[in-house]
Amino acid sequence: MSTPIVEMTDVSKRFRTPGGFGRRGAGLLAVDGVSLTVGRGEAVGLVGESGSGKSTLARMVNGLVVPTSGTVRTDGDDVAALGRRGLRRLRRRVAMVFQDPLASLNPRQTVRQTLENVLRAHGETTSTSELVELLASVGLGPDYLGRYPHEASGGQLQRVAVARALALKPDLIIADEPTSALDVSVRAQILNLLADLQRDHGISFLHVSHDLAVIRLYSDRVAVMQRGRIVETGPSEEIFRSPQHPCTQALVAATPEAELPT
């Protein structure tokens, strides 16, 4: 079997809390001894209530957060051992899509500038036809190249953010609550887009959400987090059909009736 795209072993992250004591001694233990693997081409969903440590864990995959202990290997590299150049190369292979597209895009840059800048930052030039193709792959027409963020809707902006993530042809996309800030009506479109990318381009996914219904539909495997720990993991359908841990059972119970398996 090929090396997994992500291999986390007994990873913890403790944040210093100014003047206070968080849970389990000094500081706040946001991630507590987690081991998690994402295979090549696999879509893994990380689900859990707000504050359970999902974003912190996801950010350790590409070195945005440095673990207090444990090992993170991403695309074969020990992230802690990478220097600046190594981290740059890693971040080229691991793209992120965040919750709020408006906040993640520069309001003063057109879509063309946004896409050109990410390519230029990694020493790549591009042509208009390549940019048009990139936009087409996320379902946007060429007219978006000249638009500023305020000239597009939330759903369209999230498509732009996905295009930016795709620009460098990543091996892994980390999507952290990518639809939480969007209107309900466009959520499914964005999720379907991400699912298409996984299927058509073989990109691996780490999909973070507090919503089990979302995770279930778009992930092969689910890991359930509670208070910094992974409390249950397994194939999506199985987790949904017979949740074992009380935390998972609560997440399933919170899922609207219409989305329960029949």
Ligand X SMILES: Nc1ncnc2c1ncn2[C@@H]1O[C@H](COP(=O)(O)OP(=O)(O)O)[C@@H](O)[C@H]1O
CB 9 within 8 A of CB 36: no
The answer to the question of residue 226 lying near Mg ion (CB under 5 A) is: no
Q: End-to-end CA distance of the chain, in Å?
A: 35
| 55 in contact with Mg ion (CB under 5 A) | yes
**3-class secondary structure, 31:** strand
Query: Rounded CA gap, 175 and 219, in Å?
Result: 12
Which CB sits closer to ligand X, 92 or 207? 207
CB of residue 145 vs ligand X: minimum separation in angstroms? 33
Closer Cβ to ligand X, 60 or 115, answer by number: 60
**E strand intervals along the chain:** 6-15, 28-38, 43-48, 69-74, 77-78, 94-97, 172-176, 204-209, 221-226, 229-235
Helix, coil or strand: residue 134: helix
- CA torsion angle for 189, 192, 37, 203 (degrees, to 10)? -110
Binding mask 72-111 for Mg ion (x = CB under 5 A): ----------------------------------------
- 116 vs 176 by CB, closer to ligand X: 176
Residue 51: which of Mg ion, ligand X, none does it interact with, CB under 5 to 8 A by kind?
A: ligand X
Query: Which spans of this chain sit near ligand X (rule: CB under 6 A)?
Result: 15, 28, 30, 48, 50-56
> Could you tell me the smallest distance in angstroms from the CB atom of residue 1 to ligand X?
30
Q: How far is CA 42 from CA 54, 135, 198, 235, in A?
A: 18, 24, 8, 11
Helix (H, G, I), strand (E, B) or coil at 176: strand
Q: Three-state SS for 117?
A: helix
Nearer to ligand X, 54 or 221 (CB): 54
**By CB under 5 A, residue 156 contacts Mg ion:** no
Strands 221-226 and 229-235, bridge-based pairing: antiparallel
Least distance to ligand X, CB of residue 98, Å: 11
159 binds, among Mg ion, ligand X, none (CB under 5 to 8 A by kind): none
56 binds, among Mg ion, ligand X, none (CB under 5 to 8 A by kind): ligand X
> Judged by CB, which is closer to Mg ion: 111, or 161?
161
41 makes contact, choosing from Mg ion, ligand X, none, with CB < 5 to 8 Å by partner type, with: none
Look up tokens 């987090």; give the residue: 225
Least Å distance between CB 44 and ligand X? Answer: 15
Nearer to Mg ion, 49 or 124 (CB): 49
Q: Kindly list the residues in this chain that would bind Mg ion in the complex (CB under 5 A).
A: 55
